[in-house]
Amino acid sequence: MAKHGTPHADRIKASILILDNGCWQWQNALDPAGYGRINVRNRNARAHRISYEAFVGPIPDGLTLDHLCKNRACVNPAHLEPVTLVENIRRGTSPSAKNTVKTHCLQGHEFTEANTYWAKNGYRQCRTCRRQYARRYEATRCRTRRKRAMMRK
Ligand SMILES: [Zn+2]
Ligand SMILES: [Zn+2]
């Protein structure tokens, strides 16, 4: 497990410029999305992830690091928060956010504040559709009940 003072930590400290807002601006290569790159064990890795692991600890499984400062080239572990990918997309900071966050549901209802339902798993649902599904479900249930009642006669 990486800990304080590892070679990675030293390499990171040697590759940054500390900005006025506290961001550790990566001074080496950036990838097309604007994230810092670092070579670790002959692999090209994202510098902010390596920085987090070097100064804080392992990133929990399945979690991604969200830049609280919205500066992708920043590798300051204090500006990084492990979140679920869903949460990261919801915050609109991931590169795929623009594609994932649609303004309308599949049925074309707008995702306004009032029309958006956030399920516990972070999944977004359209309230209008939910209402329609519920109504349809009720209708089917009534029909089945009636059918059953008829069969009993
Ligand atoms: Zn920052
Ligand atoms: Zn809808």
Residue type, 72: R
Query: Can you give the pTM of this predicted structure?
Result: 0.55
Ranges assigned E (strand) in the chain:
16-18, 24-26, 37-40, 43-46, 63-67, 80-84, 116-118, 124-126
> If pLDDT is split at 50, 70 and 90, which confidence band does 96 have?
low
Residues with CB in 5 Å of ion ligand 1: 23, 69, 71, 74, 76, 79
Contact (Cβ atoms closer than 8 angstroms) between residue 8 and residue 53? yes
Q: Which CATH number fits domain 7-101: 2.60.120, 1.10.238, 3.40.50, 3.90.75?
A: 3.90.75
Domain with CATH 3.90.75 in the chain: 7-101
Distance 44 CA to ligand 2 centre (A): 42
Q: Between residues 77 and 142, which one has the greater pLDDT?
A: 77
**Distance from Cα 101 to the centre of ligand 1, integer Å:** 24
29-50 pLDDT, tens per residue? 999 999 999 998 888 999 999 9
Per residue in 54-78, pLDDT (tens digit) is 999 999 888 889 999 999 999 999 9
